[in-house]
Structure 1
Amino acid sequence: MKNVFKIATLALAFAGISFAAKAQTSTTATTTTNGGIRYSIGVETGIPVGTFNDSRKWNLGGSVQADIPVASQLFVTVNAGFNNHFGETLTGLVGGTSSSVKVPSVQLIPVKAGLKFFPVANFYVQGEAGAAFLLNKSDFFNDKSVAFVYAPQVGVQFPVSASGNFIDAGIRYEATTKYSSVAGADGSKVNFLGLRLAYGF
């Protein structure tokens, strides 16, 4: 029930941003900077899904992104950031005695590249893939510090100034392969539904 509420909150936030974007009429989302490349700096948050949800609460981080135009309404994206996935405090009975343990946070640096396409003004679909580097491998029993990461995303982008500055808001599903080579270690995968809110120039 807690996750349903969180997902509903993310969906409402995205709907509000989409409504605001629809109200913008000055320029289209494909306006670029003088050099053609658009840059954005954003904050990110999200909620874990799948088995990753068993011991994680939510995540917070940030990222920088470059959108490089390659065709009308089509951009190549390069994105790098940091995400901290906060661990839960788990409680249970051990030998008839109640005890609790704090699950370590998962700290990742994802580096991704992909494509971003605007089928209509202000609305885009985006897909990225790359590598996610685990910074605190020593806190876990994992034997890998790098995993493959992929992230499909939808979002809105709308101008906030005549000079081409813009707001970029997107919702994505992001997932990695396992950080452990042990068979069945699905708990070492990172899966979450995330929101990125960025300022572009």
Structure 2
Amino acid sequence: MKSTLKIAALVLAFAGLSYSAKAQTTPTTTSTTTTTNSGIRYSIGVETGIPIGDFKDFHKWNLGGSVQADIPVAQQLFVTVNAGFNNFFGKTIAGVDVPNIQLIPVKAGLKFFPVQNFYVQGEAGAAFLLNKDVYNDKSTAFVWAPQVGVQFPVSASGNFIDAGIRYESTSNFVSNVNSKAQFLGLRLAYGF
């Protein structure tokens, strides 16, 4: 129940941040960073990836999704707010099924466009563990994710396809044990 309250509080905080930023931004129209009339760009995406490090010994791959808001703060620079869901599918080892791990990462960061349509992004935040029976030490961990990607415009009104590759890692969920959720992932999103 505490995690549900934490998640709800974070979602409301990010929604408030997006709303207040919307009131302070002006529409921008550049070929590299097309925005909506409010100046904020939104995207909804599908995410997948492959675990790396010790995490790959127990999990096969992950599948999830996310929503993201890009808030313009300067020419070619955006503040990002991202919330999602990731399910890491467990392996079967010596006849024993490793349980899936389900995380809700909530992150904020920066996205910069050094050249047209190509961006570099870095985010950090908290990852909330949904199935606490897997790790009973902590239900929240620090998460960080550097990413590079390309945005392809698909309409004159500013809609776009966002394809990004990233490394994502959490801090340990169990003290004194390597319990980091680490993966190389792909996010394919539709933006408006």
TM range (shorter): 0.7 to 0.9
CA shift for structure 1 position 28: 2.5
Paired residue for 1:84?
87
Paired residue for 1:50?
53
Q: Kindly indicate whether the alpha-carbon contact (under 8 Å) linking 2:81 and 2:109 is maintained by their aligned counterparts in 1.
A: yes
Letter in 2 for 1:44: E
Query: For each residue in 1:39-92, what CA deviation from the matched residue of structure 2 results, as whole angstroms up to 9, or x when unmatched?
Result: 00000000000000001000000000000000000000000000000000111x
Q: Where do 5+ consecutive residues of structure 1 fail to align?
A: 1-26, 92-99
1:110 corresponds, among 105, 111, 136, to 105
Q: Cα distance 1:145–1:119, how it changes in 2: closer, same or farther (>3 A)?
A: same
Supply the distance in 1 between the matched residues of 2:135 and 2:115 (Cα, whole angstroms).
46
Instruction: Indicate the structure whose relative CO is greater, using CA pairs within 8 Å and at least 6 residues apart.
Output: 1
Q: TM-score, normalized by length of structure 1? A: 0.80
Provide the secondary structure at the position in 2 that maps to 1:137: coil
Paired residue for 1:198?
189
Q: Is 1:144 equivalent to 2:147 in the alignment?
A: no
Supply the distance in 2 between the matched residues of 1:72 and 1:28 (Cα, whole angstroms).
11
Query: For each residue in 1:86-141, what CA deviation from the matched residue of structure 2 results, as whole angstroms up to 9, or x when unmatched?
Result: 000111xxxxxxxx100000000000000000000000000000000000011x24
Supply the distance in 2 between the matched residues of 1:81 and 1:126 (Cα, whole angstroms).
16
Supply the distance in 2 between the matched residues of 1:192 and 1:103 (Cα, whole angstroms).
17
Paired residue for 2:36?
33
Q: Is 1:133 equivalent to 2:124 in the alignment?
A: no
Q: Kindly indicate whether the alpha-carbon contact (under 8 Å) linking 1:88 and 1:102 is maintained by their aligned counterparts in 2.
A: yes
Query: For each residue in 1:146-178, what CA deviation from the matched residue of structure 2 results, as whole angstroms up to 9, or x when unmatched?
Result: 000000000001210011000000000000000
Letter in 2 for 1:198: A
Q: Kindly indicate whether the alpha-carbon contact (under 8 Å) linking 2:135 and 2:173 is maintained by their aligned counterparts in 1.
A: no
Alignment of 1:8-19 (within 5 A): none
Supply the distance in 2 between the matched residues of 1:129 and 1:119 (Cα, whole angstroms).
21
Report how many residues are paired: 163
Supply the distance in 2 between the matched residues of 1:48 and 1:191 (Cα, whole angstroms).
6
Q: TM-score, normalized by length of structure 2? A: 0.83
Supply the distance in 1 between the matched residues of 2:111 and 2:86 (Cα, whole angstroms).
22
Supply the distance in 2 between the matched residues of 1:176 and 1:137 (Cα, whole angstroms).
16
Query: For each residue in 1:6-25, what CA deviation from the matched residue of structure 2 results, as whole angstroms up to 9, or x when unmatched?
Result: xxxxxxxxxxxxxxxxxxxx
Supply the distance in 1 between the matched residues of 2:87 and 2:135 (Cα, whole angstroms).
18
1:71 corresponds, among 48, 51, 74, to 74
Larger Rg: 1
Report percent identity of matched pairs. Answer: 80
Supply the distance in 2 between the matched residues of 1:32 and 1:158 (Cα, whole angstroms).
13
Provide the secondary structure at the position in 1 that maps to 2:172: coil
